[in-house]
Each structure stands twice: as structure tokens, then as C-alpha cells.
Amino acid sequence: MGGYFKEIFDGAHSLVAGMGVTLKYLFQPVVTEQYPHVAPTMPDRFRGHIELVANPETGGTLCIVCGMCQKACPSGCITVAGEKVEGVKGKVLTKYELDFTKCSLCGICVESCNPGAITFSKDYNLAGLRKEAFIYDLKKRLEERKR
């Protein structure tokens, strides 16, 4: 009989103790990130989708159209194209397309890039109404950023 009452007492005590924890935290500051009202800052190493790096001297791209990123990508989301222009050594980038619908943000492309022409963007607000919204023309984006 004593065990029965002890069980009831211990059980009731455990519930009160649990409520005590909740009560204590009720009067403590809010820990939740107030996301839409307060925008989070992305850490330096945040891996967003890739972006072309602007050449600090000319404002153009650093890309030499070697195609290493295209080859390194596990999902085949990168398409690079270039052409010969007279008076310029090597190839000139004409198209850099990223199919973000397939990208798994692994960052192997950025590692494979010898001239350091691509980097991660800090863009985390990614929403679109159609698939085409996620096929990025990175060359165009670079030019838009320049303006």
C-alpha cells in the first residue's frame, strides 16, 4: 500500500518539477530568431548558389573558360561557353549558365576553379513560381551587379 502512495506522490512531483522548468523558461528572454523582421547575417563560408567573381581591375569576369567547373559538377548543372576574340589571349566567356534546380550546393565547382572566378553567393531567399526562375545566367547577373 505504501508503494502505491509513493508512486502517486513521485509521479505528481515529477509533473510539478517539469512545470517548474517550463515556468522558469517562461520568464527568460526569447531565443527564437525573429526571421522576417530581423534578417539573419550569413557566415562568410555560407554556401549559396554560385556567382561569378568580378575582376577588380576591369569589372569583367575572371573566367578563362577552361570548363573545369562543368566537368567537376556531379549533377551537370553548369554550362560554360566561350569564343575566340581577336586581340585577347585565350577564350572569352560568352555564356555561364547554372541550372540551380539540379544543384546540391556541394561546392566542388568552386574548389576546382583555378583562377578563382566563381564564389558562393549569400543569397538565401530562394523562391520562385516556375522552374525557369532557377536557371541563372551568371554572366548577366554579374553585369547587372556592375551597374
Partner 1 sequence: MIELASDKQKETFVLNMGPQHPATHGVLRVKLVMDGEYIVEAEPVLGYIHRMHEKMGENRNWAQFMPNTGRLDYLGALSYNHGYAAAVERAAGIEVPERAEYIRVLTVELNRISSHLLWMGAYLLDLGGFTPLLYAFDDREKILDMLERVTGSRLTYCYFRFGGLYNDVDEQFIGEVKAFVARMRSRLPMYHTLVTKNVILMERLKGIGIIDADMCRRYGVTGPVARGSGINFDVRKNEPYSVYPEFDFDVPVYSEGDSMARYMVRMDEIEQSLRIVEQAVNRLPEGPVMAEKVPKVLKPPKGDYYHAVEAARGSFGVRVVSDGTNTPYRLKLRSPTFSNLSLLAEVARGVTVADAVAFMGSLDLVIPEIDR
Binding site for partner 1 (CB under 8 A): 10-12, 14-15, 17-18, 20-22, 25, 31, 43-47, 72-74, 104-108, 111, 120
CB distance 50 to 110 below 8 Å: yes
Nearer to partner 1, 60 or 107 (CB): 107
Sign of the torsion angle spanned by Cα atoms 23, 25, 26, 32? negative
> Residue 76 CB, nearest distance to partner 1 (Å)?
10
CB distance 141 to 54 below 8 Å: no
132: three-class secondary structure by DSSP: helix
Cell matching residue 117? 572566378
Nearer to partner 1, 108 or 133 (CB): 108
| CA separation for the pair 39, 75 (Å, rounded) | 31
> Residue 26 CB, nearest distance to partner 1 (Å)?
11
> Residue 22 CB, nearest distance to partner 1 (Å)?
6
Nearer to partner 1, 120 or 139 (CB): 120
